């Protein structure tokens, strides 16, 4: 280039002739840009597991059928009461509520806001998350107040021989 | 020395998009829209070579 005068001695990345202070080149524009590129790399790598589990869900495992699990006996659960259980895994808290003689609802009760356990308040007929006062509709599991935006995942139940079984986790329709 | 901050601006924009896509991806995962998760995860991955490219293109630019 003709507009470059010969004050630039040679073209190299690591020139040192104009350093005035210690560590002057530690976080200059170039170093900052390298940090930004590295951060983009971290984002790329960290989105891999999400893609992996999503792909796994898409491939056939969509409608999962878990072994039916006995929750409790019908006789031990009066109308309006709730019982907590684990379904489908040992660490997936869930709650079963008996609304009337033959109507049961069950949800995974980790609040869809920050996963605090949602509990059933019989007197108010509401499901309440104690952490930030999120409330859920007991009939549908959809959030009615507070920070949560997604409904609680519903669990299908069936009654057989006087016992209540958890069958499967319903999928969101939305 | 005069320098161009175009690269910094581009990279900051890419990082911003990364944040937005990641947020969207996680939320779509919990909404169980798994196709969207894959789309945004893919976009996140594509952004990385893009960032490297933008770095290399702008590193020796003089304003």
Question: Residue A168: pLDDT band by 50, 70, 90 thresholds?
Answer: confident
Number of domains in chain B: 1
Omega cis (within 30) before A52: no
Sheet with strand A119-121: strands edge to edge: A119-121, A126-129, A134-136, A143-145
Q: Which is more confident, A71 or A2?
A: A71
pLDDT in tens, A69-120: 888 888 888 888 888 888 877 888 899 999 888 888 999 989 988 889 998 9
- The answer to whether residue B26 is domain-embedded is yes
pLDDT in tens, A122-145: 888 889 999 999 999 988 888 999
Predicted confidence at residue B45, as pLDDT, reads: 94
Domains and CATH numbers, chain A: 69-169 (2.102.10.10)
Share of chain A above pLDDT 70, in %: 79
- Is B44 in Cβ contact with A55 (below 8 Å)? no
Tell which of A47, A49, A151, A172 to mutate to test the B interface (max B CBs under 10 Å): A47
Predicted confidence at residue A67, as pLDDT, reads: 76
Instruction: List C-alpha distances in Å: A124 to A94, A128, A158.
Output: 20, 10, 26
Q: Tens of pLDDT along chain B (63 residues)? A: 566 788 899 999 999 999 999 999 998 888 878 899 999 999 999 999 999 999 998 887 665
- Is A174 in Cβ contact with B47 (below 8 Å)? no
- The answer to whether residue B61 is domain-embedded is no
Cα separation, B63 vs B60, in Å, equals 10
pTM, entire model:
0.57
Cβ-based contacts of B40 with chain A (< 8 Å): 47
Domain that holds residue B13: 6-56
Cα separation, A40 vs B2, in Å, equals 27
Q: Is B55 helix (H, G, I), strand (E, B) or coil?
A: helix
- Shortest Cα distance from B57 to chain A (angstroms)? 12
Of B8, B30, B42, the CB nearest to A32: B8
- The answer to whether residue B1 is domain-embedded is no
Half-sphere exposure (CA, 13 Å, Cβ side) for A94?
Answer: 27
Q: Cβ(A106)–Cβ(A96) under 8 Å?
A: yes
User: To the nearest whole number, what is the mean pLDDT of chain A?
Assistant: 82
Query: ipTM above 0.90?
Result: no
Q: Which is more confident, A67 or B34?
A: B34
Instruction: Compute the C-alpha angle B38/A142/A78, nearest 5°.
Output: 130
Of A104, A117, A81, nearest to A158 by C-alpha is: A104
Q: Is A60 helix (H, G, I), strand (E, B) or coil?
A: coil
The encoded tokens of residue B44 equal 């996140």
- The answer to whether residue B41 is domain-embedded is yes
Give the residue numbers in A contacting B (CB under 8 Å), as ranges. Answer: 18, 29-30, 32-34, 36-37, 39-41, 43-44, 46-48, 50-51, 53-55, 57-58, 112, 150, 171-172, 174
Predicted confidence at residue A174, as pLDDT, reads: 45
- The answer to whether residue B46 is domain-embedded is yes
Read out DSSP for B5-49?
-HHHHHHHHHHHHHHHHHHHHHHHHHTT-HHHHHHHHHHHHHHHH
Tell which of A36, A111, A147 to mutate to test the B interface (max B CBs under 10 Å): A36
- The answer to whether residue B25 is domain-embedded is yes
- Cα-flanking dihedrals φ and ψ of residue A154, to 5°? -85, 145
Of A29, A40, A47, the CB nearest to B14: A40
- The answer to whether residue B62 is domain-embedded is no
- The answer to whether residue B33 is domain-embedded is yes
Sign of the dihedral defined by the CA atoms of residues A54, A96, A105, A144, in that order: negative
Predicted confidence at residue B24, as pLDDT, reads: 92
Q: Cβ(A141)–Cβ(A129) under 8 Å?
A: no
Share of chain B above pLDDT 70, in %: 90
- Is A150 in Cβ contact with B15 (below 8 Å)? no
């Amino acid at each position: 280039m003709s507009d470059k005068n010969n004050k630039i001695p040679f073209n190299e990345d690591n020139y040192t002739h104009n350093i005035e202070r210690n560590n002057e080149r530690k976080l200059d524009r170039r170093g900052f840009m390298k940090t930004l590129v590295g951060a983009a790399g971290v984002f790329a790598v960290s989105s891999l597991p999400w893609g992996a589990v999503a792909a796994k869900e898409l491939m056939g495992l969509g409608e999962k059928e878990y072994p039916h699990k006995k929750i409790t006996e019908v006789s031990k659960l009066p109308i309006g009461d709730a019982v907590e259980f684990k379904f489908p895994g040992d660490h997936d808290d869930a709650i079963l509520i008996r609304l009337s003689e033959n109507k049961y609802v069950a949800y995974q009760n980790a609040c869809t806001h920050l996963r605090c356990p949602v509990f059933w308040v019989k007197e108010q007929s509401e499901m309440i998350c104690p952490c930030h006062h999120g409330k859920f509709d007991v009939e549908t599991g959809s959030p009615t107040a507070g920070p949560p935006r997604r409904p609680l995942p519903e669990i299908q139940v069936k009654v057989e021989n006087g016992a209540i079984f958890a069958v499967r986790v319903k999928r969101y329709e939305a | 020395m005069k320098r161009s901050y175009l690269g910094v601006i581009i990279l900051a924009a890419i990082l911003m998009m990364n944040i937005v896509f990641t947020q969207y991806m996680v939320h779509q995962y919990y909404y169980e829209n798994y196709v969207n998760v894959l789309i945004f995860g893919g976009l996140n991955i594509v952004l990385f070579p893009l960032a490297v490219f933008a770095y290399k293109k702008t590193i020796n630019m003089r304003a």
